[in-house]
Amino acid sequence: MVSAKNLFDESSGAAVPGERVSRRHYFVANLFSIGLLVVAVVATPVATLPLPPVPGYTTVFGTAMFVINILLAAFLFSKGAIEDREDAVRLGAAYFFIAAIFVPLTAASPGGIMAGPVIGNADSELWLWCGWHLGFALAILRYALLPRPVGRASPVFRQVLSVLVIVLAVTLVTDFGADRLPVVSGAAISGGAISGGGGTQFAGWAAALPLSILALLMLATAAVARLGARTPEQLWLSVGMVAACFDVWLTYRGGAHFSLGWYLAMFGSVFTSLTVMVSLFYDLTRVYGHLAVANEALLDQAGRDGLTGLFNRRRLDEALAREWLRAKRDRQPLSVLMIDVDYFKGFNDTYGHQEGDACLRRLAAVLQDAVRRPADFVARYGGEEFLVCLPGTPAAGAYEIATKIRKALCDLAIPHAGSPLHVVTISIGLASLVPPEGMIADQLVAAADMGLYRAKSAGRDRVMHAELKAFQTGIASESAVSWARST
């Protein structure tokens, strides 16, 4: 029976904000689990109802189970090896066991490869079916109950080899030693043949086999639920275990091949593995999302100046080249402001480098506050020099912004005993043009640098345009680019 309490209790703490499993996950997981239980209850009275045989269904089912479980095992083995997690390796071994045992199981099933069984006798399919579910239940109990050493995952090769040895032993016993095993099929016990819709596959004493396996699977389900479902993997493994119980129960009740119970049980078998695979894909997608965000943040950090948080020189070169090409293509103006702190060497000598750094950070804040549009950007050009790029802004607009910047810094009234004005001031060179053919972005920067030289020569604390010649040739005079940056 299903109580009012959720099958997978949220009280474990996994639903608390900041944990990996959200309340929505719990809701969906409980919805799926309750849905499986409802279908099982409704289908039980009519599980023996015969349905039309679907040609090749057994082959498709066997192939799907092998492919799904081998992929799931590979994902879990990789996760365990990368994160050094023993629990993931153990879970991978459980699903690898399903993939491996489906090779002889499909060969022993009528219609799996040929019309009749390729290996074993009429009972081999049932014994392998028991081996599949029994081995899976034991593997899940091993996953859920044994201690989980941190950072000590066992080698995947050892797990794979162990599973293959077990499957080989089960195959040899159930197929090649089938004549020595007790008879379990209803046809053999009753002396009749199982038709498409009647009878049961397990008859007499053998009916205890699927019921015992069901009890063991229910115990494994409880052991997994006891873990608290703190990760999507554990949560959806719990749902998968409910599907495994659903599979065994309807196989037992449905009996013959192509009955309603048989078809539904196959659905449960696929669902057992698909739920965990979907949770892994979700986890993988989430990890990739976090990785993309972290990578973007790392790239952004690599392009930022450590002191001011503005673009650094490398990021400046990339962004300026991009805006230059865009302005050239769209025939739009591109303006550049070259900014330098007046008498900054004297400021450092008087107040110390820590105060000098604080001064540069305050100037950076003023610059960032002055440029609001998404396309505008500010960069630290070097030392006490800064560059502001204003795409789509003509010379008049750039001059207005430059004046606003100069005034905003003056309003801060940062003391500077070495300046004639006794406060920190800046000089700004301005260059603006629509990029012509044959000119590159560096020449625009050189023109702004020449404007800065003119501002310095005119007495500092002002904004000056570059000379027209700088726009025509993009080459500033030698004196313009070699002015004393020590002042």
Name the average pLDDT for the chain. 84
pLDDT score, position 313: 93
pLDDT at residue 224 is higher than 60: yes
Name the pLDDT band for 1 (thresholds 50, 70, 90): very low
Q: What is the pLDDT of residue 15?
A: 35
The token duo for 437 is 């053919």
Confidence of residue 3 (pLDDT cuts 50, 70, 90): very low
| pLDDT at residue 96 greater than cutoff 80 | yes
Q: Residue range 476-483: average pLDDT? A: 38
Answering whether pTM is above 0.75, one says no
What is the reported pLDDT for 117? 67
Higher pLDDT, 256 or 384: 384
* Most confident residue range from 15-19, 31-35, 474-478: 31-35
Share of the chain above pLDDT 70, in %: 85
Ranges 14-28, 292-306, 353-367, most confident:
353-367
* Residue found by looking up tokens 């479902």 in the block: 229
Residue 413: CA count within 13 A, CB half-sphere = 1
Measure the CA–CA gap between 390 and 397, rounded to whole angstroms.
9
Fold of 313-481: Alpha-Beta Plaits (3.30.70)
Percent of the chain exceeding pLDDT 90 equals 54
Label residue 113 by pLDDT band (50, 70, 90).
Answer: low
Per-residue pLDDT, 216: 96
For residues 82-113, one letter each, b for 16 or more C-beta atoms within 10 angstroms of the residue's C-beta and e for the rest, the string is eeebbbbbbbbbbbbbbbbbbebbbbbbebbb
Highest mean predicted confidence (pLDDT) among 49-63, 113-127, 426-440: 426-440
pLDDT value of residue 112 = 58
Question: CA dihedral defined by 324, 329, 330, 334, rounded to 10 degrees?
Answer: 20
Residue 311 pLDDT > 90, yes or no?
Answer: yes
The contacts of residue 76 (CB under 8 Å, 6+ apart) are 88, 89, 91, 92, 95, 280
pLDDT tens-digit series, residues 365-393? 999 999 989 999 999 999 999 999 999 99
Question: What is the residue extent of each domain of the chain?
Answer: 10-298, 313-481
**What integer is the mean pLDDT of 60-89?**
91
pLDDT digits (tens, 9 = 90+) for 28-42: 899 999 999 999 999
The more confidently predicted of residues 241 and 9 is: 241
Answer whether CATH 2.40.160 is correct for domain 10-298: no
**How confident is the model over 176-219, as pLDDT tens digits?**
777 777 777 654 433 332 333 333 467 667 778 899 999 999 99
At residue 318, the pLDDT reads: 93
Q: Residue 233: pLDDT band by 50, 70, 90 thresholds?
A: confident
Q: How confident is the model at residue 447 (pLDDT cuts 50, 70, 90)?
A: very high
pLDDT confidence of residue 426: 96
pLDDT tier at 116 (50, 70, 90 boundaries)? low
Backbone angles phi, psi at 470, to 5 degrees: -65, -35
Spell out the alpha helix ranges (H) of 109-155: 124-145
pLDDT recorded at residue 386? 97
Alpha helices in 303-427 (DSSP H): 313-330, 344-351, 353-370, 395-412
- For residue 185, the model assigns a pLDDT of 67
| Residue with more model confidence, 145 or 114 | 145
**Whether residue 484 has pLDDT greater than 80:** no
Q: Which of these ranges, 47-51, 246-250, 328-332, 471-475, has the smallest mean pLDDT?
A: 471-475
Tell me: pLDDT of 26 over 80: yes
Higher model confidence: residue 20 or residue 253? 253
Mean pLDDT of 341-359: 94
